Amino acid sequence: MRYLPLSLQERDDMLLRIGAAAIDDLYADAPRDALLKGPLDLPLRKTEPEVERRLAALAAKNVAAGAAPFFVGAGAYKHHVPATVDHLIQRSEFLTAYTPYQPEISQGTLQVLFEFQTQVANLTGMEVANASMYDGSTATAEAILMAHRVTRRRKALLSGGLHPHYAETARTLSDMAEDEIAILPPDPRASEDLIGALDSGLSCVVVQNPDFFGNLRDLTPLAEACRAKGVLLVVVVTEILSLGLVEAPGTMGADIVVGEGQSIGNGLNFGGPYLGLFATREKYLRQTPGRLCGQTVDADGRRGFVLTLSTREQHIRREKATSNICTNSGLCALAFSIHMAMLGETGLKQLALINHANAVSLAEALEKTSGVEVLNRSFFNEFTLRVKGSAAQVVEGMAERGVLAGVPVSRLLPKAGLDDLLLVASSEVNTDEDRAAFVTALTEELRA
Amino acid sequence: MNSEGRPTQPQIATPLAPQTFTGARALQIHEALIFDTGRLDFTGVDLDPPKPFTPRLGGLERKSEIGLPGLSEPETMRHYVRLSQKNYAIDMGPYPLGSCTMKHNPRLNEKMARLPGFADIHPLQPVSTVQGALALMEELADWLLKLTNMDAVALTPKAGAHGEMCGMMAIKAAISARGEAETRKVVLAPESAHGTNPATAAALGFSVRAVPAGADGLVHPEAVAAALGPDVAAIMLTNPNTCGLFERDIVEIARLVHEAGAYFYCDGANFNAIVGKVRPGDLGVDAMHINLHKTFSTPHGGGGPGAGPVVLSSRLAPFAPVPFLKREGDRLTLVEETEGTQSFGRMAAFHGQMGMFVRALAYMLSHGADGLAKASEDAVLAANYVRVCLNDLFSSPFGDRICMHEVLFDDRWLKDTGITTLDFAKAMIDEGIHPMTVYFPLVVHGAMLIEPTESESIVSLTLFIATLRDLAIRALRGETERFLGAPYYAPRKRLDETAAARKPVLRWTPPEPIED
């Protein structure tokens, strides 16, 4: 076996040294009748080419985003990732390292995390950021728990513009922790009155911007109203690239900003691994979940970095821990950080502008298409269409015509009576031809 | 003969070198932060500006500077390559982090995960266009169920601790379904448990009752029986446990727990010791998470991402989270809604760590059922080999007994030397070896938990053992300087962690302008 270096002779010599007659003597503490006598009913080992063939056959049954005009978003976005990013994250010293528990020989990972935290804090307009979480949805649930700890209240209010999967994730955790949660009805036109729904018993209000339906809104009045009632404002950003063009949540008055970082440096991967972003005000630092990297000095006075404030964490305080989280998305954070360093301020703004321009161009074309209505007044790179009939059927039909058209709202909100709504995302990878193909396929589908 | 069997003769150079002007030392180069070197007006990505258009941002254009420096492509390469050279990694040498499990990361797994058919598909594109991905998830689930002899698997949890959360949520839902939500509010956890166990239980509204371990490091049925009562929802037990031992009475413990009307959550962090040898389902387990990166070798990337699928017994299977797979003839679909099911809900936005699933399945197929069993055996063999080769010098907290895939020592043998476990660990760095897990498990004073894994050759194991013996003998001889100042040869000497925590600096800020 190519992955197992010990020869049969070496195994025997080692057993002899240990004083065991057979390998199963090392399993002496396992119940006798539970010890398996032979291999299970599963395939035996395959050679490298055999594994490649098997998995390539499975991969070939999927339609890759790069193989079709592609407009699917709703919390995961197709963007171009520079070759340099994927090359660098595959360097052994990054790829095959563990959590930097020994900082003297983990300065590479630690410096990257420090740079990442700075990038995320700057991007969100917040004072501090952590070294990443699992993904945007779990980061949102953790933000709510943090708001409960900070305010000592246990009720959260979720906007109807929040990604339905994020809301469900938060609700599951809230129900289990026996906290209260209120989720407002879906809000395709961003007309809900969050300020009117505020009360002083709330720990936080959770609002997404751009929202699930693509709408942008100014959160400044909401932030002011929240502050007056001691309620924290949690802002969720599922398309983090939008912050290259849209005002930062921190500037609008957010207390906690969580986001999905997949768009920068990370591929679609059928839903994971992704990258949760988490930023907040410095005064809440010790209530922040997840890993934090801090700057310090070494014995010679040279600058260095360590994981810090771990007294909040599970391995020290156990049942008093801030959260049960014991890892982050280190490699995804690295990919994000590299891509962001290559883009820089100028590139990020330019990339965001191109995304917006492409989406506007598509929206303008669709506004001229009969049987279609664009619901949004404002948006970044994703908007909501109202189509005649079932959006789910339209998407299926367009897939057969070779266009991956978007996400029917009913897929995430099957009971909301929004069967005619379709979320459409457009990014820098879409060409004029892709947009033309979209309009043509949609027109044909609506006519069919 | 402390160097017996040492395959290479170490050479010690006498450093008489001058200070360099740059502060660099040949390949050890100081690497500035991107914020020191990057420029806000520079980008390393070529992007053509869009044709003129009318923005539709609703007046929310960002007005201020963000503060993100840009690097050219060569600068990017150099920055991150230099940083990478300040990291230790499993591809460089032994990484015996007990309980963390650092084993070989085959590059075939990486290649497979990057096939566009897996890496470039969207979680919400039409189900008809992702049948291969769903088939891969089904195949992975089949492997996990057969290796554990359990009834259902939840693939969505994104890490081991997230998996714990999932398993305990299923237990809580099952207890609620029985109408006992108000009465069963206690979770038992051994004192030696991973800190995530009590943290998970507490996060879900349970209170935690500790179960003491015996003098032999094992949890005893009498201790469990004494802690059980009608208020207990579950026990969270790790097997093999964090002391590197197989819980000998696990079947009896499971029986007691079930008799008391509670569930048995098994922390599967150490499943890699028993894959293909013992199936948790045969031991009475109701739920167990599997850290794919530990057991099926998905690289840990400096701290993640992980993946923590959870296997469930028939009693808990109905409560599994959405989404889950459903086969209808030759077509696979995803059940996304809880309505009409007993599912406890959703744990994360999408379907889980697909990229990790591909890597884990590639690893399983490469090993086969026979190879996975042999990997477990070799991991246990290597740990026991290390144990017998060090036990005349190091002290063992629970007596010298057969261990599983990791061997636990304590610091009693260092008594009166003035050297701590931490000092010993830092001296290992100078020898080119990543330190073992130190100070965990917490129940053992000055713990040193060594997990060599199945990846180390006999040559590597021999050098590892010889090095630890050399260090131990020097420590016992009173050569404290080697330890107290260590590491001498790392990119950084000991870092001041107290200062980092006292006045946290978590981001770069621009230097104050100098006033005229």
- Model pLDDT for residues A45-85, shown as the tens digit of each residue: 999 999 999 999 999 999 999 999 999 999 999 999 999 99
The answer to pTM > 0.95 is yes
Distance, CA of B498 to CA of B486 (rounded, Å): 18
What ranges in A220-263 are assigned the alpha helix state H? 220-228, 249-252
CB-CB under 8 Å, B47 with A34 = no
Please report how many Cα atoms fall inside a 13 Å half-sphere around the Cα of residue B3, on the Cβ side.
5
Minimal Cβ distance to B68: which of A19, A329, A344: A344
Distance, CA of B44 to CA of A82 (rounded, Å): 10
Backbone φ, ψ for residue B366 (5° rounding): -65, -40
Helix/strand/coil (H, E, C) string of B37-63?
HCECCCCCCCCCCCCCCCCCCCCCECC
CB-CB under 8 Å, A411 with B147 = no
Closest-CA distance of chain B to residue A201, Å:
20
Is 90 exceeded by the pLDDT of residue B228? yes
Instruction: Give the mean pLDDT of B201-215.
Output: 94
Minimal Cβ distance to A324: which of B39, B196, B352: B196
**Pairs of CB atoms within 8 A across A/B:** 715
Q: Is A210 on the interface with B (CB under 8 A)?
A: no
pLDDT at B498: 95
Closest-CA distance of chain B to residue A205, Å:
19
Is 90 exceeded by the pLDDT of residue B26? no
Q: Is A75 on the interface with B (CB under 8 A)?
A: yes
pLDDT at B7: 56
Q: Is B386 on the interface with A (CB under 8 A)?
A: no
pLDDT at B14: 60
Tokens 């009590």 sit on residue: B198
Closest-CA distance of chain B to residue A6, Å:
6
CB-CB under 8 Å, B161 with A314 = yes
Residue of A nearest to B46 (CA): A347
- The CATH label, of 3.30.559.10, 3.40.640.10, 3.30.420.40, 3.40.50.1000, for the domain at B109-364 is 3.40.640.10
Instruction: Give the mean pLDDT of B499-516.
Output: 89
Q: List the 253-272 stretch of B: residues with Cβ below 8 A of A.
A: none
Residues of A in contact with B76 (CB under 8 A): 84, 88, 338, 341-342
Among A126-135, A162-171, B169-178, B191-200, the range scoring the smallest mean pLDDT is B191-200
Residue of B nearest to A114 (CA): B507
Q: Is A117 on the interface with B (CB under 8 A)?
A: yes
Closest-CA distance of chain B to residue A236, Å:
13
3-state SS, residue A306: strand
Residue of B nearest to A25 (CA): B402
3-state SS, residue A287: helix
**Domains plus CATH for chain A?**
68-79+345-447 (3.90.1150.10), 83-340 (3.40.640.10)
Residue B44 CB coordination number (10 Å): 23
Indicate which of B102, B129, B182 best probes the interface with A, i.e. most A CBs within 10 Å of its own CB.
B129
Q: Which residues of chain A have pLDDT under 50?
A: none
Is 80 exceeded by the pLDDT of residue B218? yes
Indicate which of A63, A269, A343, A346 best probes the interface with B, i.e. most B CBs within 10 Å of its own CB.
A269
User: What sign results for the dihedral spanned by CA atoms B111, B117, B118, B120?
Assistant: positive
Indicate which of A163, A270, A275, A374 best probes the interface with B, i.e. most B CBs within 10 Å of its own CB.
A270
pLDDT at A314: 72
Backbone φ, ψ for residue B380 (5° rounding): -70, -40
Tokens 């900082």 sit on residue: A103
Instruction: Give the mean pLDDT of B353-366.
Output: 98
Distance, CA of A397 to CA of A405 (rounded, Å): 9
CB-CB under 8 Å, B105 with A244 = no
pLDDT at B15: 60
Is 80 exceeded by the pLDDT of residue B13? no
Distance, CA of A117 to CA of B504 (rounded, Å): 13
Q: Which CATH number describes the domain made up of B371-502?
A: 3.90.1150.10
Task: Describe chain A by its helix, strand, coil percentages, rounded to 5.
Answer: 45, 15, 40
Distance, CA of A192 to CA of A182 (rounded, Å): 14
CB-CB under 8 Å, A244 with B62 = yes
CB-CB under 8 Å, B248 with A296 = no
Residues of B in contact with A405 (CB under 8 A): none
Closest CA to B394 of B371, B417, B374, B376: B417
CB-CB under 8 Å, A217 with B58 = yes
Residues of B in contact with A378 (CB under 8 A): 56-60
Residues of A in contact with B429 (CB under 8 A): 102, 104-105
Instruction: Give the mean pLDDT of B121-146.
Output: 98
Closest CA to B494 of A103, A110, A97, A98: A103
Name the pLDDT band for B29 (thresholds 50, 70, 90).
confident
Residues of B in contact with A91 (CB under 8 A): 80-81, 84
- Model pLDDT for residues A329-339, shown as the tens digit of each residue: 999 999 999 99
CB-CB under 8 Å, A341 with B89 = no
Residues of B in contact with A242 (CB under 8 A): none
pLDDT at A318: 77
Q: Is B31 on the interface with A (CB under 8 A)?
A: yes
User: Is residue B355 packed enough to be buried (19+ CB in 10 Å), middle (13-18) or exposed (0-12)?
Assistant: buried
Indicate which of A9, A47, A62 best probes the interface with B, i.e. most B CBs within 10 Å of its own CB.
A62
User: What's the mean per-residue pLDDT of chain B?
Assistant: 95
Is 50 exceeded by the pLDDT of residue B378? yes
Closest-CA distance of chain A to residue B514, Å:
22
Distance, CA of A172 to CA of B423 (rounded, Å): 45
Closest-CA distance of chain A to residue B169, Å:
7
CB-CB under 8 Å, A63 with B129 = yes
Q: Is A17 on the interface with B (CB under 8 A)?
A: yes
Indicate which of B66, B107, B271 best probes the interface with A, i.e. most A CBs within 10 Å of its own CB.
B66
Indicate which of A54, A134, A216, A364 best probes the interface with B, i.e. most B CBs within 10 Å of its own CB.
A134
User: Would you call the peptide bond into A273 cis, given omega within 30 degrees of 0 as the criterion?
Assistant: yes
- The structural domains of chain B, with segments of one domain joined by +, span 109-364, 371-502
Q: Which of the 8 DSSP states describes residue B396?
A: -
Tell me what percent of the residues of chain B surpass a pLDDT of 90. 91
pLDDT at A312: 78
Q: Is B32 on the interface with A (CB under 8 A)?
A: no
Q: Is B127 on the interface with A (CB under 8 A)?
A: no
Tokens 């309505």 sit on residue: B339
Indicate which of A25, A41, A55 best probes the interface with B, i.e. most B CBs within 10 Å of its own CB.
A55
Range B254-261, long-range pairs (CB < 8 A, 24+ positions): B254/B283, B254/B284, B254/B285, B255/B284, B256/B221, B256/B224, B256/B225, B256/B228, B257/B224, B257/B228, B257/B232, B257/B284, B258/B284, B260/B228, B260/B229, B260/B230, B260/B232, B261/B180, B261/B184, B261/B230, B261/B232
pLDDT at B1: 41
Give every CB contact of residue B150 below 8 A, 6+ residues apart in sequence: B144, B280, B281, B285, B288, B311, B312, B313
Distance, CA of A194 to CA of A282 (rounded, Å): 26
Residue of A nearest to B80 (CA): A88
Residues of A in contact with B122 (CB under 8 A): 65, 70, 72, 76, 78, 268, 270, 404
Closest CA to A384 of A146, A125, A73: A73
Closest-CA distance of chain A to residue B14, Å:
20
Q: Tell how strand B287-289 and strand B263-267 pair up.
A: parallel
